[in-house]
C-alpha cells in the first residue's frame, strides 16, 4: 500500500465542477474512470478542495492510497494516456500514508480575470469576464487621500455545483453535515469574501449582507423558479444569516485584518415580506425584532461562537421612514409621515437590543435610508425637507457612526426587472429613490441632493457633477 499525491490541471468548461454528482459529468468522475483502467478501481480519492461548474484549475491536488505496483512516474504517464485532453496530470509522487490532500493543504489561490476593453477576445472565452465599461482603478485611492471612509458590500454570493442556482440570494436548506451543499456554500462564501476583500485594501468597512430578514434577499435554492410559495421561515432565515455572518467575517478578516466587519442589515418586518413580528407593532420595529433573533442565537451556544466579535465589529440596519397608515406593503413608502420621535424610537429600540447583549460599545451604520417620490413633484419637495430632518435626528444619536442615503441615481431599470417583485416592494416605488436622475436623463440633481448639500454646507456645482456622472467621467 502506498499513498500518492497527484497534481492535476484541467479546463472545467465541460464539467459540473470537481465532485461526483448523480446526473452530471464532473472532473472527479472522469479522473476516476481513467484511474480504474490502470488499477482496477477501489481507491478512495481525497481532493484538496472543490471547484464549481465551469471553473478551471491550474494545480489541483488529490491523494489516494493504492496497491498498484506502478511507480509514480509510470502512474503519471498512464493517467495522461487515458484522461481526455482537457484534464492532465502535472505530477505524481509518493507521500506518507497519513498525508491527506485536504487537511494538509496549506492554502488556496483563486484568480478572477477581467477583459476590460470594448471588443471581446475569442481566445479568452470561458477564461475571463468581458467588461467593456471603463474601470476607475484610482477612485478608491483618491477616497483614501481625502480621508473618505468607504463602506462596501456584496448583495449576492456563489452556490456550489449541485444547486439549482449558480449565484444570487439563495441558499440550500440548512444542513451542517460535512460536505453537504449547505456547508459547501458557506465555504465558498468565506473564500469569495477573502478574495474580494484582498482586492480592495482601500475599503475600511465591509457590510456582509443585505436585509436577510426578507424573502427577497434570502430564500431557498430554486425559489425564484418556483411559485415562490415556500420561502424560508423567519427563524430559518435567521439561523442561516448567523451562519453566513460567521463565515463571511472569517473571509473578510483573512483578506484584510485591518478592515472592520459590519453585520447584515435588517429592515422592516411584515408577514408578506418574510417577517414574523406581531402586526400590531409598527413595521420598522422589525429591525430590533430581527436583532433580538440574531443575538439570542449567537449567545445560545448552538452556533459557531458565542462572541459577537466573531460575527461583526459594527452593527448595520436600514431605518426607512414609512407611513403609519394601515396600507398594503407596496404602499408603505408612499405619502410617508415626517420623521419624528417615532423614527428615533425605531433606532433606539434596536440599539437597546445591542446593549442587552453587551454590544452597547459598538457603533451603528445606518447603511440605507431614503425617500421615494414616485415622480410626484410635490412629494419630491416635501421629502427633501424630511431628509434633512432625518439626518438631523441621526446626528444626535450617540451610537450612530454614519448614515448612507439611498440611492445616488434613479433606476428606471427596476420597471423592467421581472421575477422577484412578488416578494419585494417594487415598481415606481423603487425607481425614484435617487438623489440624481438616471443617466438617460442626464443625472440632474434632484431636490433631496440639494437639501443635503444645503445641510452639509457644500458649495459643489451639482449640475456639473451630474453632467460628468452622465458621461461616466467620475
Segments in 115-259 forming alpha helices (H): 139-145, 181-199, 234-255
Stated as kind and residue range, the H or E segment containing 294 is helix 286-299
Asked if residue 407 has a cis previous peptide bond (ω within 30° of 0), the answer is yes
- Specify burial of residue 318 (Cβ count, 10 A radius: 0-12, 13-18, 19+): buried
Is 117 inside a domain boundary? no
Mean pLDDT confidence for 321-329: 82
Is 429 inside a domain boundary? yes
Which of 11, 44, 52, 243 is catalytic? The answer is 52
178 and 245 assigned to the same domain? yes
| Angstrom distances, CA of residue 78 to CA of 15, 48, 60, 89, 103 | 22, 22, 18, 10, 27
Is 119 inside a domain boundary? no
- For residue 426, the domain's CATH number is 3.20.20
57 and 158 assigned to the same domain? no
Distance, CA of 400 to CA of 238 (rounded, Å): 24
371 and 419 assigned to the same domain? yes
> Phi/psi at 317 (nearest 5 deg)?
-155, 170
88 and 140 assigned to the same domain? no
Grid coordinates representing 176 are 451542517
pLDDT at 422: 45
Grid coordinates representing 420 are 422577484
**Residue 220, Ramachandran bin (φ over 0: left; ψ between -120 and 50: alpha; else beta):** beta
* Burial readout 398-418 (b: 16 or more C-beta within 10 A, e: otherwise): ebbbebbbbeebbbbebeeee
190 and 91 assigned to the same domain? no
CB atoms within 10 A of CB 296: 14
Domain boundary, last residue among 68, 95, 122: 95
Is 276 inside a domain boundary? yes
Sequence-ordered list of residues with C-beta below 8 angstroms from that of 280, at least 6 positions apart, any chain? none
Question: Containing domain of residue 284, as a range?
Answer: 135-470
Domain boundary, last residue among 37, 69, 95: 95
pLDDT in tens, 187-224: 989 988 998 898 888 999 999 999 999 999 999 999 98
356 and 426 assigned to the same domain? yes
| Angstrom distances, CA of residue 381 to CA of 369, 376, 377, 447, 461 | 17, 9, 6, 6, 20
Mean pLDDT of the chain: 91
291 and 401 assigned to the same domain? yes
Least confident of 131-140, 197-206, 291-300, 303-312: 131-140
Is 19 inside a domain boundary? yes
Distance, CA of 357 to CA of 368 (rounded, Å): 24
CB atoms within 10 A of CB 273: 22
- Pairing type for strands 46-47 and 151-153 reads unpaired
Stated as kind and residue range, the H or E segment containing 346 is helix 341-356
- For residue 14, the domain's CATH number is 3.30.70.580
91 and 139 assigned to the same domain? no
Is residue 421 pLDDT above 50, yes or no?
no
82 and 150 assigned to the same domain? no
Domain boundary, last residue among 43, 64, 95: 95
CB atoms within 10 A of CB 99: 15
Mean pLDDT confidence for 71-100: 97
- Pairing type for strands 46-47 and 57-66 reads antiparallel
Grid coordinates representing 68 are 498498484
Domain count across the chain: 2
Mean pLDDT confidence for 63-86: 96
73 and 156 assigned to the same domain? no
What confidence tier does 425 reach under pLDDT thresholds 50, 70, 90?
low
Q: Do residues 265 and 368 touch, judged by C-beta distance below 8 A?
A: yes
pLDDT in tens, 114-156: 888 888 899 988 888 887 766 666 788 888 888 889 999 988 9
CB atoms within 10 A of CB 131: 11
pLDDT at 88: 98
What confidence tier does 473 reach under pLDDT thresholds 50, 70, 90?
low
57 and 157 assigned to the same domain? no
Is 118 inside a domain boundary? no
Is 198 inside a domain boundary? yes
186 and 80 assigned to the same domain? no
Is 458 inside a domain boundary? yes
> Phi/psi at 80 (nearest 5 deg)?
-65, -25
Active site annotation includes 52: yes
Sequence-ordered list of residues with C-beta below 8 angstroms from that of 235, at least 6 positions apart, any chain? 276, 293
Amino acid at each position: 500500500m502506498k499513498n500518492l499525491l497527484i497534481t492535476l490541471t484541467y479546463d472545467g468548461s465541460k464539467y459540473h465542477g470537481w465532485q461526483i454528482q448523480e446526473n452530471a459529468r464532473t472532473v472527479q468522475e472522469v479522473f476516476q474512470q481513467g484511474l480504474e483502467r490502470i488499477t482496477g478501481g477501489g481507491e478512495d480519492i481525497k481532493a484538496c478542495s472543490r471547484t464549481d461548474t465551469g471553473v478551471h484549475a491550474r494545480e489541483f491536488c488529490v491523494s489516494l492510497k493504492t496497491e498498484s505496483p506502478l511507480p509514480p512516474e509510470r502512474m503519471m504517464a498512464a493517467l495522461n494516456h487515458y484522461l481526455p485532453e482537457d484534464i492532465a496530470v502535472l505530477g505524481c509522487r509518493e507521500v506518507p500514508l497519513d498525508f491527506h490532500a485536504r487537511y494538509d493543504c496549506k492554502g488556496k489561490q483563486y484568480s478572477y480575470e477581467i477583459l476590460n476593453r470594448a471588443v471581446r477576445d475569442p481566445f479568452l472565452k470561458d477564461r475571463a469576464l468581458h467588461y467593456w465599461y471603463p474601470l476607475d482603478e484610482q477612485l478608491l485611492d483618491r477616497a483614501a487621500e481625502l480621508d473618505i471612509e468607504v463602506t462596501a458590500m456584496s448583495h449576492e454570493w456563489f452556490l456550489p455545483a449541485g444547486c439549482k442556482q449558480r449565484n444570487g440570494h439563495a441558499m440550500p436548506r440548512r444542513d451542517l453535515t460535512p460536505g453537504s451543499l449547505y456547508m459547501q456554500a458557506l465555504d465558498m462564501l468565506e473564500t469569495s469574501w477573502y478574495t474580494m476583500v484582498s482586492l480592495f485594501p482601500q475599503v475600511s468597512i465591509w457590510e456582509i449582507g443585505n436585509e436577510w430578514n426578507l424573502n427577497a434577499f434570502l430564500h431557498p435554492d430554486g425559489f425564484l423558479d418556483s411559485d415562490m410559495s415556500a420561502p424560508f421561515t423567519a427563524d430559518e432565515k435567521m439561523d442561516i444569516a448567523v451562519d453566513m455572518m460567521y463565515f463571511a467575517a472569517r473571509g473578510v478578516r483573512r483578506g484584510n485584518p485591518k478592515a472592520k466587519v459590519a453585520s447584515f442589515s435588517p429592515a422592516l418586518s411584515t408577514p408578506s415580506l418574510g417577517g414574523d413580528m406581531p402586526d400590531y407593532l409598527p413595521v420598522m420595529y422589525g429591525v430590533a425584532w430581527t436583532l433580538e433573533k440574531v443575538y439570542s442565537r449567537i449567545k445560545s451556544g448552538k452556533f459557531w461562537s458565542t462572541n459577537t466579535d466573531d460575527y461583526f465589529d459594527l452593527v448595520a440596519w436600514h431605518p426607512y421612514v414609512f407611513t403609519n397608515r394601515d396600507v398594503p406593503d407596496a404602499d408603505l413608502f408612499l405619502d410617508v409621515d415626517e420623521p419624528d420621535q417615532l423614527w428615533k424610537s425605531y433606532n433606539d429600540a434596536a440599539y437597546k437590543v445591542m446593549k442587552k447583549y453587551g454590544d452597547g460599545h459598538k457603533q451603528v451604520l445606518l447603511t440605507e435610508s431614503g425617500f421615494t417620490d414616485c415622480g410626484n413633484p410635490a412629494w419630491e419637495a416635501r421629502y427633501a425637507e424630511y431628509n434633512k430632518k432625518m439626518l438631523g435626528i441621526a446626528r444626535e444619536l450617540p451610537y450612530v457612526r454614519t448614515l448612507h442615503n439611498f440611492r445616488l441615481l434613479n433606476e428606471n431599470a427596476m420597471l423592467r426587472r421581472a421575477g422577484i417583485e412578488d416578494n419585494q416592494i417594487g415598481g415606481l416605488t423603487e425607481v425614484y429613490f435617487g438623489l440624481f436622475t438616471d443617466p438617460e436623463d442626464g443625472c440632474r440633481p434632484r431636490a433631496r441632493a440639494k437639501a443635503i448639500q444645503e445641510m452639509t454646507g457644500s458649495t459643489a456645482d451639482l449640475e456639473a457633477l451630474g453632467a460628468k456622472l452622465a458621461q461616466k467621467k467620475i
